[in-house]
Homo-oligomer: A and B are copies of this chain.
Amino acid sequence: MKAPTFELYYWPSIQGRGEFVRLALEEAGAAYVDVARLPAAKGGGVAAMRKLMSAHAGGLEPFAPPFLKAGDLIIAQTANILLYLGPHLGLVGESEADRLRANQLQLTIADLVGEAHDTHHPLSTSLYYEDQKPEARRRATAFVHERLPKFLGYLERVLEHGGRRHLLGGALSYVDLSAFQVIEGLEYAFPHGMAGLAPSIPLLLALRDRVAARPRIAEYLASKRRLPFNEDGIFRRYPELDVG
């Protein structure tokens, strides 16, 4: 039986939360279509995504992208998509405990991602960054000085007390891929802040390097399928927020 082609729906111009799903699909060599990045003439574009978001046939509408169509299932919320994909793609252990641990770590990474986003939008997502710059600076300072050491120190400890090479036991999981993405994003957004933290997170940085060197991930990162980081996404390089 042929595996279904997954359809990923996410904003076409940013890595954003969709990237955590893309990395899992790419590492597994899964057949998938990144629907909103296709031209409208081929059934793609943001309009196709919005259409599916407001179609109530057969299920639960997503609150927001990303969402994944897998056969008849439409699954939203990044960690939930990975909870579903993990076993299908061989990117998580088989026991209930393995899956709960993976989901727990993924949700902690999601919390970190949310806080990284709010450094440039501390007051409102509907205001421009330019309209909340002083507040962004204060939030970014607290983020880099207090929250990042706490989150990354936690992930470093998890590596240290586990197998050191993977966040969960002896094998690659989707959580390792997400950790890669978070480190990449943080280094893009906060190069000075991350340089200061680097000496305290050697295992995490080594994990990032190993993930980047995996053949399918390396091929993906070099391809046009990998969007560059930019100032519309979650991780934005605003020099005034890169507190040292």
Taking residues whose C-beta sits less than 8 angstroms from the other chain, chain A's interface range is 35 or more
State whether B61 touches A161 (Cβ < 8 A).
yes
Given A56-B161, A61-B161, the answer on whether A100 and B80 have CB atoms closer than 8 Å is yes
**Residues from 113 to 161 in A contacting B, C-beta threshold 8 Å:** 114, 118, 122-127, 135, 138-139, 142, 146-147, 151, 154, 157-158, 161
State whether A123 touches B101 (Cβ < 8 A).
no
State whether B104 touches A126 (Cβ < 8 A).
no
- This protein's copies in its complex: 2
A84 interface hit (Cβ, 8 Å): yes
State whether A101 touches B60 (Cβ < 8 A).
yes
Interface on A for B, CB 8 Å cutoff?
56, 59-63, 73, 75-77, 79-80, 83-84, 96-97, 100-101, 103-105, 107-108, 111, 114, 118, 122-127, 135, 138-139, 142, 146-147, 151, 154, 157-158, 161-162, 168
**Complex A-B: 30 CB contacts under 8 Å:** A56-B161, A60-B104, A60-B105, A60-B158, A60-B168, A61-B158, A61-B161, A63-B108, A75-B104, A76-B104, A77-B104, A77-B107, A77-B108, A79-B79, A79-B107, A80-B103, A83-B83, A83-B100, A84-B96, A84-B100, A111-B114, A114-B114, A122-B135, A122-B139, A123-B138, A124-B142, A125-B142, A125-B147, A126-B142, A127-B142
